[in-house]
Amino acid sequence: KNEVEQSPQNLTAQEGEFITINCSYSVGISALHWLQQHPGGGIVSLFMLSSGKKKHGRLIATINIQEKHSSLHITASHPRDSAVYICAVRHFGNEKLTFGTGTRLTIIP
Amino acid sequence: NAGVTQTPKFRVLKTGQSMTLLCAQDMNHEYMYWYRQDPGMGLRLIHYSVGEGTTAKGEVPDGYNVSRLKKQNFLLGLESAAPSQTSVYFCASSYRERPEAFFGQGTRLTVV
């Protein structure tokens, strides 16, 4: 069992819909990252969270440390949001990241 | 503003051949990482480095070697390529104090 679980694995939605992608992890962490990978393959860091909530444009990331759970929300989704979204965690005292398998998001015009 | 640059972007190797992937970063990051990405699996750490002249094994190090002779460069070597090493390879780097990771564009390697 991967210690970082993402759901759903695949998500297809209509343009304009509100999107939620979930990430759960099994042990305590010092930080959680949300990454975006476009069809071209490059990976971009969207957020790094250790508590609470962060917002950047139409993207919102939240984390609940007690429940070991994070969500990535996209408001007013657009076809250009189509990508694979990856959750990764960093454990205390560890310089390494553990990655989820990603959520493939497709937004249909 | 190059960030993290990987070369080459694509490569096809025959079984048994060797090659070196180069990762270069211009952000003065202490930490550098090599990952592989395979279908249905999360990124897996091959080797990493916490500073110039130091390297350490990650989750899947077998069949790979690395070197970090200069702070800005991290090289990944395949001494004798095998079809199981067909994958997309990503390099990443980060500051010690700020763990936000910056990724290269990836290298798609096919071993036939």
Q: Is B95 on the interface with A (CB under 8 A)?
A: no
Interface contact A83, partner B, CB < 8 A: no
Give the pLDDT score at B34: 97
pLDDT at A2: 63
pLDDT tier at B73, thresholds 50, 70, 90 = very high
Q: Do B42 and A99 touch (CB under 8 A)?
A: yes
What's the rounded Cα separation, in Å, for the pair A58 and A18?
10
pLDDT higher than 70, residue A1: no
Helix (H, G, I), strand (E, B) or coil at A109: coil
Within an 8 Å CB–CB cutoff, is residue A11 touching chain B? no
| B15-28 mean pLDDT | 96
Distance from CA of A7 to the nearest CA of B (A): 13
CA B38 – CA A42 distance, rounded (Å): 14
pLDDT at B40: 83
Of B104, B21, B28, B15, residue with least CA distance to B66: B21
- Between strands B102-103 and B73-78, the pairing is unpaired
Over range A89-109, report the average pLDDT: 89
Q: Which of B30, B35, B43 to mutate to test the interface with A (most CBs of A within 10 A)?
A: B43
- pLDDT given at position A9: 95
Is A2 in Cβ contact with B42 (below 8 Å)? yes
